[in-house]
Amino acid sequence: MTLVGYERSGAVARVSLQRPEKLNALNAELVAELSSALDRAACDDEVKVVLLRAEGRAFCAGYDMAEEAETGSIGADAWHRTLSADVEVTMKLWGLAKPTIAAVRGHCLAGGCELAMACDLVVASDDARFGEPEIRYGSGPVTLLMPFVLGQKKTFELLYTGDVVDAATAEDLGLVNRVVAPEDLERVAGDLAGKIALAPLATLKLTKLALTRAFEAMGLRQAVGANLDLSAILNSAESPEKQELYRIARDRGLRAALAWRDARYGESLGG
């Protein structure tokens, strides 16, 4: 079963996350397929713009916590190897030599939020929700892009609380370019991709290079690399909250575990 679809229409490559029954949660197979799809788009001179989208009612609910719960406790070295693949594909998307657009609906959380932030532009339906709630069970962001997208103060707030924001708030914060009705999402994102694709490929690539180099001069890649090392240590550390979440996930399922996680904060993210 293919977990990532690839379709080229004119100068636009549509890369689709295709695991809707799991809200497109990221597992090792999907990450590997996404990496291959990005390589394909990068090497195709007919492609000028990459549109990242998803099947189903959610863009991506984050990393597959069910698999994580089944794995149990592993050491920092093993976590570093696992997380390196996740960081690599997100940074491949961020550094792709061609413009990228994320079309986001529903949940866009944790690793999914990082994929959206790695894209140059984000078009969201008004039912989209963004955030990195990992701190609520003793984890943290894998690819630390949020400070460069949102700035210092709001990043501290969102990463300390694990709060999730709606599409309108995400637009106000600068995470989203446009908010549209759900039925208009694919059309608006496609029209934006088509408009960008009118420019010469060389011009787009050099403009993208200038912009990525500007962020690299600010230390983005160094920050991401340092965070990877710390994330491996953080994820290997045991905490009562993490142990309880894994226990509930094993005994009663992931939905119950997430409900327990968020009920502690007086809210529910759904799922």
Distance CA 165, CA 127 (A): 11
Catalytic residue among 114, 157, 216, 244: 114
Read off the tokens for 48: 């000028």
Q: Which of 33, 68, 132, 134 is catalytic?
A: 134
Kind and range of the H or E element at 36?
helix 28-43
Q: Is 29 designated active site?
A: no
CA distances to 58, 143, 160, 188 from 22, rounded to whole Å, are: 9, 21, 26, 26
CA dihedral 217, 223, 226, 231 (to 10 degrees): -160
Active site residue 114: yes
- For residues 159 and 109, give the distance between their C-alpha atoms in angstroms, rounded to a whole number: 12
Alpha helices in 119-239 (DSSP H): 146-150, 152-161, 167-173, 185-196, 201-217, 220-236
Catalytic residues, by residue number, are: 114, 134
